[in-house]
Structure 1
Amino acid sequence: MLAKEYRNHFIEKLTPLYDVLEAESFFYILLEDFHQMKRIDLALHPDFIFTDKEIDKWNQVLEKLEKEIPIQYILGKAHFYGLEFEVNENTLIPRPETEELVEWIVKKNEFKGKIKILDIGTGSGCIAISLAKNLPNAEVFAVDVSEKALEMANRNALANKADVVFMQKDILKTENLVHDFDLIVSNPPYVRNLEKEEIKKNVLDYEPHLALFVEDDDALLFYRKISELAQNNLKDNGELYFEINQYLGPEMINLLEAKNFKEIELRKDIYGNDRMIFGRK
């Protein structure tokens, strides 16, 4: 079958579940992964043919996409801040909004001398590893409660040749951190149960709830605990960064003010939602 004919079939099968642009993006992600071809290559070779064996492979993935399994889990990898990360059901899929958080940190710290960084709730390790790769003067540590997530984060660090020290730790039960840090960053669970109806099926059914959800009556649980630890374990003038629930920007400002942080800055993501906050000890 001609690849362009299969493309039409592929998009047609997925459009009841996804919009056309997203279905098309899936096709070209798979085209590059399976055939090392980009969109322009297919345009230049309109007679390119998929063999029967290749179509079987495509159909297997199409079946999974029709079940709304995230394409990153199907391929076992995701791209983040110019790096490739192994992902599976034990870790959240890295998102563009989190790349913006990493970019903010890199821009504020790229010309500094040696700094010590802690990433809390590291998951796949995407934040910690990206910072280690882009801030060569940084000594980076990362913690997570999930042993399986840490195993993956370690593999990702090795694959990306990044020097990160990973530790298993339940941050809610931690009274004091091992070191004092110049910078602490966290993208903790922040989706309230009341917001589940806004969450797409491919996230709700397949991504780990442990890393996503908090109780409605204590949505800032992790932020409060991490801010308290930061008060004890950030050096003077140390920096604290969070990715946050888009609906809780004012509450986050109040929390950091109550914990005596200064220079507090709330930033929006590419979609115009309150998504990142910074405070200085």
Structure 2
Amino acid sequence: MKIKQYRTQFIKELSPLYDAYEAESFFYLILEDKHKLRQIDLALNHELTFTNSDLTAWSSFLAQLKKEVPVQYLIGKTNFYGLYFEVNDNVLIPRPETEELVEWIISENVKSANPRKIKILDIGTGSGCIAITLAKNIPHAEVYAIDVSKKALETAKRNAINNKVDVTFMLKNVLELEQLKSDFDIIVSNPPYVRNLEKQEIRKNVLDYEPHLALFVDDNDALIFYKKIAELAQVNLLENGQLYFEINQYLGKEMIELLENMNFRNIDLRKDIYSNDRMIKGNI
């Protein structure tokens, strides 16, 4: 069967669940990963075909997508800030909003022609996307990362090797830490922040397949991770140190109050590309 013909069939079969643009993006992600063919290749050669064994494999992909398994898990990787990261059901799939947080940190810390060494800690690293991207783009940074999940850290370590950066990974539960063993110039975290009351807003492909440990917090203590990390930052951030968070879009006001009450300065709440309150920074 001609690949162009199969593409039309593929998009049509997914149409009850996904719009045509999203279904087409899935098609080209799989096509490039499994066949090393890009959209431009198909545009230039309409006669490209799938073999019967190819069609069998694609039927399996289609069946999984109909169950709303994330396409990133099917191909085992995703792109984040121009880097490729292995992803699996032990880690969250990195989001564009998190790229914005990373861009904010990089833009504020790649300025001096002769920068001094800085130490960065990423709390709840998951796939390692934040820590690794910062290590890749801030050459004068010494980067550390912690997570409560051993399997997530195994994934993050592979991602650091694949992206050729040095990051020190540690297995720790941040809620059990009294203090950190070192001081840092920057502490960053994208902790669990989705309340159970917001589950109805979460798509099935996230709710059914991504790790709940990294997603959800109790409705009555939604800022539990932020409070704890801010407490640690009070002790372990160096003078003029920076604390960055990705946050729940509905809790921007509460996050400002939290940081103000803990004597952080220069508090800056920013919106993401979707105009949701998504990132906040404070200085110690």
* Partner SS state of residue 34, structure 1: helix
Q: C-alpha displacement at 1:272, in angstroms?
A: 1.0
Unaligned runs of 5+ in 1: none
Aligned identity (percent) is 67
- 1-side partners of 2:61 and 2:36: how far apart? 17
- 2-side partners of 1:235 and 1:36: how far apart? 47
Specify the alignment match of 1:189 in structure 2. 192
Q: C-alpha displacement at 1:47, in angstroms?
A: 1.3
Q: Does residue 1:64 correspond to 2:86, yes or no?
A: no
Specify the alignment match of 1:4 in structure 2. 4
- 1-side partners of 2:57 and 2:277: how far apart? 41
Deviations 1:174-199 (A, max 9, x none): 00001000000000000000000000
Specify the alignment match of 1:53 in structure 2. 53
Q: C-alpha displacement at 1:66, in angstroms?
A: 0.6
Q: C-alpha displacement at 1:53, in angstroms?
A: 1.0
Deviations 1:105-145 (A, max 9, x none): 00000124210000000001010000001001000000000
User: Alignment RMSD, CA only?
Assistant: 0.7
Specify the alignment match of 2:81 in structure 1. 81
Whichever residue aligns with residue 209 of structure 2, its letter is Y
Specify the alignment match of 2:173 in structure 1. 170
Q: C-alpha displacement at 1:101, in angstroms?
A: 0.5
TM-score by length of 2: 0.98
Deviations 1:54-89 (A, max 9, x none): 111111111100110001111111111111111111
Pairing of 1:1-281 with structure 2 (within 5 A): 1-111=1-111, 112-281=115-284
Unaligned runs of 5+ in 2: none
* Partner SS state of residue 272, structure 1: coil
Q: Which runs of 4+ in 1 moved over 3 A?
A: none
* Partner SS state of residue 178, structure 2: coil
- 2-side partners of 1:173 and 1:38: how far apart? 47
- 1-side partners of 2:25 and 2:161: how far apart? 29
Aligned residues: 281
Deviations 1:145-166 (A, max 9, x none): 0111111111111111110000
